[in-house]
Amino acid sequence: MNAEVQRVVITLPAQADYVDIVRLNLYGIASKMGFSYEDIEDMKVAVSEACNNSVLYAYNQQDGMVEVVFEVNRDLLSITVSDEGESFERVTPNSNRVTLHDKELHDVEIGGLGFYLMEALMDDVSIENQTGRGTKVVMSKRLMRSEEKV
């Protein structure tokens, strides 16, 4: 691993009450890096969606843990949200994926908007899931520094 990468790892119960802790940590890390308020708010929504997915679906109302890893690498923040619960159905990026643009609003599943939202708010999103081994969502956002300071 690159020596310049700094990692912050949080492991917490897969319960809705703990999602705010992840958001607060994200805020602290992203603001220290110099992200704009708007970018931080976008990232908070995306990371909340990933955490809520683990809370709602991974453990079937049983106790479980969610691990969140923040990796700071110069102008890139990567956030990995992983659980060891039940994996969910996910269309692979290489298949003929149906997007929201191809659906009528009444055909969109409630809760199914989370991944589209993450993809819209972050620069890169990947999802790995293996039956019996949980789900890992990796999201990243590049810090765009303004070059036009006058």
26 bridge partner residues: none
Domain assignment of residue 124, yes or no: yes
Q: What domain count does the chain have?
A: 1
Q: What's the pLDDT tens digit per position in 35-54?
A: 999 999 999 999 999 999 88
Q: Is residue 1 part of a domain?
A: no
Q: Give a yes or no: residue 77 inside a domain.
A: yes
pTM: 0.79
Using the predicted structure, report yes or no on whether residue 110 has a pLDDT greater than 60. no
- For residue 150, tell me if it sits in a domain: no
Beta carbons of 59 and 83 less than 8 angstroms apart = yes
Looking at the domain assignment, is residue 148 inside a domain? no
Q: How many CB atoms lie within 10 A of CB 32?
A: 9
- Greater confidence, 147 or 68? 68
Q: Name the band, by pLDDT with cuts 50, 70 and 90, for residue 87.
A: low
Is 149 inside a domain boundary?
Answer: no
Task: Please say whether the beta carbons of 138 and 77 come within 8 A.
Answer: no
Nearest to 7, CA basis, from 34, 31, 25: 25
In a domain, 147, yes or no: no
Domain around 114: 6-142
Q: Side-chain half-sphere of 116: how many Cα atoms within 13 Å?
A: 13
Q: Distance between CA 30 and CA 105 in Å, rounded?
A: 34
Chain segment 74-86, per-residue pLDDT in tens = 999 999 999 998 7
Cβ neighbours of 41 (radius 10 Å): 14
pLDDT number for residue 40 = 97
Q: Is 66 exposed, middle or buried (0-12, 13-18, 19+ CB in 10 A)?
A: buried
**74 compared with 102, residue with greater pLDDT:** 74
Question: What residues have CB less than 8 Å from 147, skipping those under 6 apart?
Answer: none
In a domain, 126, yes or no: yes
CATH of the domain at 108: 3.30.565.10
Taking 80 as the threshold, does the pLDDT of residue 93 lie above it?
A: no
- pLDDT value of position 145: 73
